[in-house]
Amino acid sequence: MHSFRHDWALDEVEALFGLPLSELMHRAQCVHRAHFDPTRIELATLLSVKTGGCAEDCGYCAQSAHHRTGLQATKLMAVEAIVDEARRARDAGATRFCMGAAWRSPKDRDLDQMCAAIAEVKQLGLETCATLGMLTADQAGQLRAAGLDYYNHNIDTSPEHYASVIGTRSFGERLATLDHVRNSGMAVCCGGILGMGERRSDRASMLRVLANLPAHPESVPINMLIPIEGTPLADAPKLDPFELVRTIATARIVMPASVLRLSAGRETMSDELQALCFLAGANSIFVGARLLTTPNPTRDRDDDLLARLGVQPAADASGLRPA
């Protein structure tokens, strides 16, 4: 059993960010290789099972009812339709199937329908993940009983920058949902978004919060903001790509055994930037044409890149570990 730190000070995390890039990458690679096979990557698929009309005002999100993005709200997909999509994802090589619904929190009838879908997706042999908004302890228990492996609930950014992005839900409420998920026995998927006008100190603070949780999230998605017309962050200044690499490398050092997912924004990233992110410790990506409502690289492009890098998909998350 490994003993990981949960007592990082902000200045320690900031010091990692500030290292010369070659030194930061070297340290991250050493940590990565101690816990993972660097030639393996997890492929996950994300499906929007209920799109738009969300009561939250998250400044980055096209699905918020507060923003005029032209997105048409939909009802929750039927169980059979969700399972059909999961089967296609499995047959295309995905090992984890993530289901996202644009809710502040799920209603009981919606949760019953999601639990039925989760149970059937689990029967396909896929790892299951869902992101449905805030949960009560009872709701987290229901999802776990249905067979949900992972629950995603991102903290999005630092506690200090949070109110600049979201006004309808507090940072503390996000942490409360994470507690309910952890206490239910589900694995935690929790990360954030870069490029929302935050400073480097905010990126360090976000990672510090995640690393200082009682247990590190098993999965940490790192997203690059996709500016969407009609949202408050549509004109956010573009982030230096090296800041993405530094964030992933620092995350790898402070959360050594967490799976780091290079998530939203890959569609506009060069192959070289993605390769740097993998060298920094990212070892999971979403595959498929869309991520909820935003574009994602084609599968052909992903397969070509991974082949050129000599990276193989893992059969499941355990396949990422060293032999």
Assign residue 236 the CATH number of its domain. Answer: 3.20.20.70
Residue 317 lies in a domain: no
DSSP state of 33: H
Q: Which residues pair with 185 in a beta bridge?
A: none
SS3 314: coil
40: how many CB neighbours lie within 10 A of its CB?
A: 17
Identified catalytic residue from 129, 203, 266, 277: 129
Q: What is the predicted pLDDT for the residue at 296?
A: 64
Identified catalytic residue from 96, 98, 208, 277: 98
- 27 counts as catalytic: no
Give me the average pLDDT of each 10-residue run along the chain (323 residues). 88 98 98 95 85 66 58 78 90 85 83 94 92 93 96 94 86 94 96 93 97 96 83 79 97 97 88 96 80 63 92 79 72
Task: Report the alpha-carbon distance of residue 183 to residue 161 in Å, rounded.
Answer: 27
Residue 2 lies in a domain: no
C-beta of residue 252 within 8 angstroms of C-beta of residue 207 = no
Inter-CA distances, 161 with 190, 196, 274, Å: 17, 9, 26
Residue 316 lies in a domain: no
- 277 counts as catalytic: no
**What does residue 193 show for φ and ψ, rounded to 5 degrees?**
-125, 135
Q: What is the predicted pLDDT for the residue at 278?
A: 96
User: How many domains does the chain divide into?
Assistant: 1
Q: What is the predicted pLDDT for the residue at 53?
A: 57
Residue 258 lies in a domain: yes
C-beta of residue 270 within 8 angstroms of C-beta of residue 277 = no
Residue 254 lies in a domain: yes
- 261 counts as catalytic: yes
Residue 323 lies in a domain: no
Residue 153 lies in a domain: yes
Range of the domain at 197: 10-311
Task: Report the alpha-carbon distance of residue 50 to residue 102 in Å, rounded.
Answer: 6
Identified catalytic residue from 33, 40, 87, 189: 189
Identified catalytic residue from 96, 208, 261, 266: 261
Task: Report the alpha-carbon distance of residue 64 to residue 232 in Å, rounded.
Answer: 11
Residue 1 lies in a domain: no
- 61 counts as catalytic: yes
81: how many CB neighbours lie within 10 A of its CB?
A: 13
- 115 counts as catalytic: no
- 98 counts as catalytic: yes
Identified catalytic residue from 58, 115, 190, 277: 58
Q: What is the predicted pLDDT for the residue at 292?
A: 47
Task: Report the alpha-carbon distance of residue 13 to residue 21 in Å, rounded.
Answer: 14
